[in-house]
Structure 1
Amino acid sequence: MNYIHSIEVSQLCQRVTDSSGELDILNNVSFTVADGEAVAVTGSSGSGKSTLLGLLAGLDVPSSGQVKLLGHDLFARDEEARAALRAAHVGFVFQSFQLLPNLTALENVMLPLELAGKPALEAASDMLERVGLKDRYHHYPKTLSGGEQQRVSLARAFVVQPRLLFADEPTGSLDSQNGAKVIELMFALHREHRTTLVLVTHDAELAALCQRELKLSAGCLLDA
């Protein structure tokens, strides 16, 4: 089923309490993301970017407010149901790659398909070839460069053909040359698969490649 909006966020708030009292991490944030759109979430450190991304993925529960993914009210579901929704529709790319060190590149990419009970070998092999790692199938993460590890991470995210991709500082651990390669690949795959892309970044050049920028400051959305 196609939706006009892949993501709908309404009056999202996240508050924490510490020794100094209540702190608003996110304050009354509302926006929508169109199906197939690429959106950058930007702001200074501590502005709430990664907190927002975690809430969009249902990895945390807000103090108040609503998030709908593909028409599903995320927080009307329990943790198990949110995990099932992520497994079916969401891919992730992290700054720290999050590859399993005891699995080869091929096994890392096969894993989400195997967990979903789907045929894995051919699809994972094809996706690794797509990201230029045909000769690295049987290498373990520790034997791969940072750029190669992030390309494995991209292959793992896209192999399940997700409707949504969340990326948290996807080039933050890479030098400029490898970062540029990963960016080019990520946007090529985004266009080919018409995946809705939401990425958190400090990189103004990366943000400019997206169709829209959401700017956070002290937990408030400045531009939706």
Structure 2
Amino acid sequence: MSTSASAVKRPAEDSTGGDRNVKPRTASTGIHITDCEAPTITIHTRINGDAVAPSPAQQAVSAIVVGLEADLDQERKKRQGVNRAYTELEKELAAKDQDLFDARAEGAAERMRADALAIAKDLSDKLLEEAQTTIKNLNSDVAEANKKADGAIDKADGATKKAAILGSENIKLNDKLKIANRTISQAAKVSKALAKVLADQLSAASPRP
């Protein structure tokens, strides 16, 4: 930083205050700051091109300017530090938000998987229960059918036995009927023969005219 005072030109005066038409004086002041953190002030003052030591007022003003510049630089550095910290904080917050989003997404996925497994398990349990009930009913139906089949077989066996018995009885009845027919036939022959004998006897015993 450098600060320069404007050149001041004043006419030379004699002892009576008149213009002697001499060459005007020229004054300039330069302030150079080489380091804002630890400012080094260099004041250059020249009058008519000759170096002159700065006045106390110039030094005070220069010190104030240097102090202000140093304060401004510190503020700039503080703002830069705050901006960097804010940027880092935004990055951390974004990363945490992403982590939270990922965690929520993972949690939601886990809950969905758990719900799907629970539904599948319930469905599997219901299907297994229904299958077991169906198998039990089928076993009961098979047992009942076997029982009925056994009864039918028993009845068929009984009917077969009865048919065999009836057949045997029929044969016996036929045999008896044949014997009875023969007996009747013989009785008829005997009766006819007896009737003839009686008729002959009656005829022989009748008086002849």
Q: TM-score, normalised on structure 2?
A: 0.18
Higher helix share: 2
User: Bigger radius of gyration, 1 or 2?
Assistant: 2
